[in-house]
Amino acid sequence: MKKKLNKLKFFIESEVAGLTVFLVTIVILFSLASPKFLTVNNLSSMALQLPELGLLTLAMLIPILSGGLNLAITYTANLSGLALAWTLKNFGGTNAGIDAFILGCIFALFIGAFSGYIIGVVVAYTKAHPILVSLSMMILMRGIGEFMSQGKDITGFPDFVQNIGQGTILGIPIPLIVFMACALIWHIILSRTRQGFGTYMLGSNVMATNYTGISTKKNLIILYTLSGIMCSIAGIIMLARFNSVRVGHGESFLLITVLACFLGAVNPFGGFGRVMSVVIALVILQVLTSGLNILGSNQHLSTALWGIFLIFVMVLRWIWWKLSVKNE
């Protein structure tokens, strides 16, 4: 067992190194292909775009590590944004103060936590598959969101809200700082806490988890609640960046979050994976997107290339794994 764990550790560490090398390679290639790539404007643009997808990917990461999935992440983020928007609109609109914003953020976080909690309870106590449960929650969230917004964009917030979404601290975009802080918190939870250990155990072997004394039901409820909270943070950042809320915003991110996790060496069946490798994978996807846009590539072609790239990575990973097993 110890030998197997050491092998998995080496596999993940080699993945981090491989992803880093690939990231450096594509940065060099795009820099040579276009002088616009390493400009301040382009780097700032990438730094502003990354946090939205990054936060939603973190929300997807923990369920995947446990062997599950959370398909409700985007609409949970949307409804959380609507909760914040509703609070601001009812406490002064464009004249709302920071106290209204804080109250709205608490309301938004509650919405996300409650959504995740319900998914966790149903999965834990009914043994229903997380895909079906989270899909049901996704439909529910979408319906509530469309009812609340009447299918329209909600705008009219204080100026300081947009400053949070597009402002900087020491030249670093505030949303990027939020994402980096959340990634660090996720790393600590997964690598330094009993909850993190239980999450990995759930993805590896549910029966073995029961014998360790870890409550699988409690662990599932907590991890999906944490996933919902991360969705809320993503929803708050999206509202602040665009100064508006719309149900369905970020819907295209759903499958890309799964792509980023798999690209970041997360086992699709759960059990192992690291935050660091997922963050590097997110940067790679952002660099690919920005680089291809600068070169004038069609957006749909970029999406297709993401899929081809993932297949290529999966094939290489399978070959490497087979060779490592053969050499033992």
Q: Calculate what percentage of the chain has a pLDDT beyond 90.
A: 50
Q: Over range 60-79, report the average pLDDT.
A: 95
Report whether pLDDT(302) > 80: no
- Tell me if 176 sits within 8 A of 164, measured CB to CB: no
How far is it, in rounded angstroms, from Cα 93 to Cα 99? 13
Q: Which two tokens stand for residue 115?
A: 């959504």
Q: Is residue 104 packed enough to be buried (19+ CB in 10 Å), middle (13-18) or exposed (0-12)? A: buried
- State the Cα–Cα distance between residues 9 and 109, nearest whole angstrom: 34
CATH numbers and ranges of domains, the chain: 2-326 (1.10.3470.10)
Q: Which residue has the tokens 């599950």?
A: 68
Is-contact 53 256, C-beta < 8 A? yes
User: In this predicted structure, what is the pLDDT of residue 13?
Assistant: 56
Entry pTM? 0.90
What's the pLDDT band for 21 if we cut at 50, 70, 90?
confident
Q: Return mean pLDDT, the chain.
A: 87
Q: What is the mean pLDDT of residues 75-100?
A: 92
Q: pLDDT tens-digit profile of 45-59?
A: 899 889 999 999 999
